[in-house]
Amino acid sequence: MCGRYVLATPIDELVRFFDAREAPGIDDAYLPSYNVAPTREVVCLALNGDGHRILDEYRWGLIPWWAKDSSIGSRLFNARAETVTTKPAFRDAFKSRRLAILADGFFEWRKDADNRRQPFYLTRRDGAPMAFAGLWDSWRDPSVAGGTSRVRSCTIVTTGASAEVAPIHNRMPVVLEPAALEVWLDADGPDQDEVEALLSAQPSGILEARPVGRRVGNVRNDDPSLVEPVEGEVA
Protein backbone atom coordinates (compact mmCIF):
# COMPACT_ATOMS: atom_id res chain seq x y z
CA MET A 1 0.00 0.00 0.00
CA CYS A 2 0.98 3.65 -0.07
CA GLY A 3 -0.52 5.82 2.64
CA ARG A 4 2.02 8.65 2.99
CA TYR A 5 4.30 10.43 0.58
CA VAL A 6 6.21 13.66 -0.03
CA LEU A 7 5.83 16.41 -2.61
CA ALA A 8 7.78 19.59 -1.98
CA THR A 9 9.14 20.31 -5.48
CA PRO A 10 7.91 23.73 -6.67
CA ILE A 11 5.14 23.76 -9.27
CA ASP A 12 7.28 25.50 -11.88
CA GLU A 13 9.90 22.73 -11.63
CA LEU A 14 7.21 20.05 -12.02
CA VAL A 15 5.88 21.88 -15.07
CA ARG A 16 9.32 21.81 -16.70
CA PHE A 17 10.16 18.24 -15.73
CA PHE A 18 6.87 16.75 -16.94
CA ASP A 19 6.46 19.13 -19.91
CA ALA A 20 3.08 20.21 -18.59
CA ARG A 21 0.88 23.28 -18.16
CA GLU A 22 -0.59 24.61 -14.93
CA ALA A 23 -4.31 24.54 -14.29
CA PRO A 24 -5.61 27.98 -13.32
CA GLY A 25 -4.94 28.76 -9.67
CA ILE A 26 -2.85 25.69 -8.85
CA ASP A 27 0.27 27.69 -8.06
CA ASP A 28 -1.62 29.67 -5.41
CA ALA A 29 -3.38 26.59 -3.98
CA TYR A 30 -0.31 24.33 -3.87
CA LEU A 31 1.08 23.54 -0.42
CA PRO A 32 4.39 21.62 -0.35
CA SER A 33 4.19 18.74 2.11
CA TYR A 34 6.56 16.22 3.66
CA ASN A 35 3.70 14.12 5.01
CA VAL A 36 0.90 13.88 2.44
CA ALA A 37 -1.97 11.74 3.74
CA PRO A 38 -5.29 10.58 2.25
CA THR A 39 -8.12 13.14 1.89
CA ARG A 40 -5.58 15.88 1.07
CA GLU A 41 -5.67 17.82 -2.20
CA VAL A 42 -2.73 16.46 -4.20
CA VAL A 43 -0.97 17.44 -7.41
CA CYS A 44 -1.68 15.21 -10.39
CA LEU A 45 -0.81 15.09 -14.07
CA ALA A 46 -3.50 14.34 -16.66
CA LEU A 47 -4.31 15.07 -20.30
CA ASN A 48 -6.91 17.67 -21.18
CA GLY A 49 -9.29 17.40 -24.12
CA ASP A 50 -6.64 18.78 -26.47
CA GLY A 51 -4.08 16.21 -25.42
CA HIS A 52 -1.93 18.62 -23.38
CA ARG A 53 -0.48 17.60 -20.01
CA ILE A 54 -2.08 19.58 -17.20
CA LEU A 55 -1.04 19.84 -13.55
CA ASP A 56 -4.03 20.14 -11.27
CA GLU A 57 -5.21 19.15 -7.80
CA TYR A 58 -7.46 16.21 -6.91
CA ARG A 59 -8.59 14.90 -3.55
CA TRP A 60 -6.64 11.78 -2.57
CA GLY A 61 -9.11 8.95 -1.94
CA LEU A 62 -11.31 7.93 -4.85
CA ILE A 63 -15.02 8.69 -4.65
CA PRO A 64 -16.69 6.72 -7.49
CA TRP A 65 -19.31 8.65 -9.44
CA TRP A 66 -22.03 6.32 -8.15
CA ALA A 67 -21.18 6.71 -4.43
CA LYS A 68 -24.01 7.86 -2.14
CA ASP A 69 -21.63 9.92 0.00
CA SER A 70 -17.96 10.87 0.10
CA SER A 71 -16.95 8.67 3.05
CA ILE A 72 -15.91 5.82 0.74
CA GLY A 73 -12.98 7.95 -0.40
CA SER A 74 -11.17 7.56 2.93
CA ARG A 75 -10.84 3.82 2.16
CA LEU A 76 -10.08 3.96 -1.56
CA PHE A 77 -6.73 5.78 -1.50
CA ASN A 78 -5.03 2.75 -3.10
CA ALA A 79 -6.14 0.48 -5.92
CA ARG A 80 -4.52 -2.95 -6.28
CA ALA A 81 -3.15 -3.55 -9.78
CA GLU A 82 -4.36 -7.13 -9.67
CA THR A 83 -8.04 -6.12 -9.40
CA VAL A 84 -8.12 -2.63 -10.88
CA THR A 85 -9.82 -3.86 -14.08
CA THR A 86 -12.58 -5.75 -12.27
CA LYS A 87 -13.36 -4.00 -8.99
CA PRO A 88 -16.49 -1.83 -9.44
CA ALA A 89 -14.90 1.20 -7.77
CA PHE A 90 -12.01 1.28 -10.26
CA ARG A 91 -12.81 -0.53 -13.51
CA ASP A 92 -14.50 2.38 -15.31
CA ALA A 93 -11.77 4.82 -14.26
CA PHE A 94 -9.09 2.39 -15.44
CA LYS A 95 -10.54 2.44 -18.95
CA SER A 96 -10.77 6.18 -19.44
CA ARG A 97 -9.78 8.25 -16.38
CA ARG A 98 -6.09 7.64 -15.74
CA LEU A 99 -3.65 10.17 -14.34
CA ALA A 100 -0.35 10.31 -12.48
CA ILE A 101 0.05 11.42 -8.87
CA LEU A 102 3.33 13.33 -8.49
CA ALA A 103 5.72 12.78 -5.59
CA ASP A 104 9.29 13.29 -4.47
CA GLY A 105 9.24 10.00 -2.54
CA PHE A 106 7.04 7.80 -0.39
CA PHE A 107 7.07 6.14 3.03
CA GLU A 108 6.67 2.50 4.00
CA TRP A 109 7.00 0.82 7.40
CA ARG A 110 8.46 -2.45 8.64
CA LYS A 111 8.70 -3.93 12.10
CA ASP A 112 12.15 -3.73 13.69
CA ALA A 113 13.83 -6.11 16.14
CA ASP A 114 11.82 -4.63 19.01
CA ASN A 115 8.55 -5.15 17.11
CA ARG A 116 8.21 -1.43 16.54
CA ARG A 117 7.25 -0.03 13.14
CA GLN A 118 10.26 1.59 11.50
CA PRO A 119 9.49 4.03 8.66
CA PHE A 120 11.60 4.20 5.52
CA TYR A 121 11.66 6.94 2.91
CA LEU A 122 11.97 5.75 -0.69
CA THR A 123 13.08 7.95 -3.58
CA ARG A 124 14.47 7.60 -7.07
CA ARG A 125 18.23 7.16 -7.12
CA ASP A 126 18.52 9.89 -9.75
CA GLY A 127 16.64 12.37 -7.53
CA ALA A 128 13.91 13.01 -10.12
CA PRO A 129 10.25 13.42 -9.17
CA MET A 130 8.07 10.32 -9.32
CA ALA A 131 4.88 9.73 -11.27
CA PHE A 132 2.61 7.18 -9.57
CA ALA A 133 0.01 5.47 -11.74
CA GLY A 134 -3.38 6.73 -10.62
CA LEU A 135 -7.08 6.85 -11.44
CA TRP A 136 -9.58 9.66 -11.01
CA ASP A 137 -13.31 10.19 -10.87
CA SER A 138 -15.77 13.05 -10.55
CA TRP A 139 -18.51 12.76 -7.91
CA ARG A 140 -21.57 14.94 -7.47
CA ASP A 141 -22.83 15.43 -3.95
CA PRO A 142 -26.50 14.36 -4.11
CA SER A 143 -27.30 16.39 -0.98
CA VAL A 144 -26.56 19.65 -2.80
CA ALA A 145 -29.36 20.91 -5.03
CA GLY A 146 -28.62 21.71 -8.65
CA GLY A 147 -25.78 19.24 -9.11
CA THR A 148 -23.14 21.96 -8.97
CA SER A 149 -21.07 20.52 -6.10
CA ARG A 150 -18.52 18.16 -7.59
CA VAL A 151 -15.41 16.55 -6.14
CA ARG A 152 -12.56 15.27 -8.30
CA SER A 153 -10.71 12.54 -6.49
CA CYS A 154 -7.91 10.08 -7.19
CA THR A 155 -6.28 6.87 -6.05
CA ILE A 156 -2.76 5.44 -6.32
CA VAL A 157 -2.38 2.08 -8.08
CA THR A 158 -0.14 -0.33 -6.14
CA THR A 159 1.66 -3.49 -7.19
CA GLY A 160 4.09 -6.07 -5.82
CA ALA A 161 7.28 -4.70 -4.29
CA SER A 162 10.53 -4.26 -6.18
CA ALA A 163 13.82 -5.64 -4.85
CA GLU A 164 14.51 -2.41 -2.94
CA VAL A 165 11.06 -2.25 -1.33
CA ALA A 166 10.46 -5.97 -0.61
CA PRO A 167 12.54 -6.05 2.64
CA ILE A 168 10.32 -3.24 3.96
CA HIS A 169 6.85 -3.91 2.56
CA ASN A 170 5.27 -6.28 0.05
CA ARG A 171 3.46 -3.53 -1.89
CA MET A 172 4.45 -0.25 -3.52
CA PRO A 173 3.03 2.38 -5.88
CA VAL A 174 3.36 1.74 -9.60
CA VAL A 175 6.13 4.19 -10.57
CA LEU A 176 5.90 5.18 -14.23
CA GLU A 177 8.98 5.79 -16.33
CA PRO A 178 8.64 8.41 -19.14
CA ALA A 179 7.59 5.99 -21.89
CA ALA A 180 5.14 4.24 -19.58
CA LEU A 181 3.74 7.59 -18.43
CA GLU A 182 2.95 8.50 -22.05
CA VAL A 183 0.96 5.29 -22.50
CA TRP A 184 -0.77 5.51 -19.11
CA LEU A 185 -2.10 9.02 -19.65
CA ASP A 186 -3.45 8.29 -23.13
CA ALA A 187 -7.04 7.11 -22.66
CA ASP A 188 -7.67 6.65 -26.40
CA GLY A 189 -4.57 5.14 -28.00
CA PRO A 190 -3.32 2.01 -26.21
CA ASP A 191 -5.36 -1.17 -25.79
CA GLN A 192 -6.12 -2.52 -22.33
CA ASP A 193 -3.45 -5.24 -22.46
CA GLU A 194 -0.77 -2.63 -23.14
CA VAL A 195 -1.94 -0.51 -20.21
CA GLU A 196 -2.20 -3.49 -17.85
CA ALA A 197 1.38 -4.45 -18.73
CA LEU A 198 2.57 -1.25 -17.04
CA LEU A 199 1.34 -2.41 -13.63
CA SER A 200 4.15 -4.85 -12.85
CA ALA A 201 6.76 -4.38 -10.13
CA GLN A 202 9.35 -1.65 -10.58
CA PRO A 203 12.68 -2.92 -12.01
CA SER A 204 15.49 -3.06 -9.47
CA GLY A 205 18.09 -0.30 -9.33
CA ILE A 206 15.71 2.65 -9.71
CA LEU A 207 14.73 3.29 -6.07
CA GLU A 208 16.68 3.64 -2.85
CA ALA A 209 15.48 3.51 0.76
CA ARG A 210 16.66 5.04 4.00
CA PRO A 211 15.31 4.77 7.55
CA VAL A 212 13.76 7.95 8.94
CA GLY A 213 12.34 9.05 12.27
CA ARG A 214 9.00 7.85 13.58
CA ARG A 215 7.54 11.38 13.69
CA VAL A 216 6.19 10.77 10.20
CA GLY A 217 3.62 8.45 11.75
CA ASN A 218 1.71 11.50 13.01
CA VAL A 219 0.15 13.35 10.08
CA ARG A 220 0.26 16.61 12.04
CA ASN A 221 4.05 16.57 11.70
CA ASP A 222 5.01 18.09 8.36
CA ASP A 223 8.52 19.48 7.91
CA PRO A 224 11.77 18.59 6.10
CA SER A 225 13.18 16.72 9.10
CA LEU A 226 10.77 13.87 8.36
CA VAL A 227 12.94 12.73 5.43
CA GLU A 228 16.29 13.08 7.18
CA PRO A 229 18.02 9.70 7.65
CA VAL A 230 18.42 8.14 11.06
CA GLU A 231 20.99 5.55 12.07
CA GLY A 232 19.98 2.07 11.10
CA GLU A 233 20.29 -0.53 8.40
CA VAL A 234 19.34 0.73 4.95
CA ALA A 235 17.11 -1.73 3.10
Q: Residues 175-202: what's their mean pLDDT?
A: 89
Other CB atoms within a 10 A radius of the CB of residue 23 amount to: 16
Phi-psi sector, 26: left (phi>0), alpha (psi -120 to 50), beta = alpha
pTM, full prediction = 0.94
What is the set of domains in the chain, with CATH numbers? Answer: 5-227 (3.90.1680.10)
Can you list the alpha helix ranges (DSSP code H) found in 116-155? none
Residue-wise pLDDT tens digits, 5-38:
999 999 999 999 999 999 999 999 999 999 999 9
Say whether pLDDT at 166 is over 50.
yes
* Residues annotated as catalytic (active site), given as ranges: 2, 108
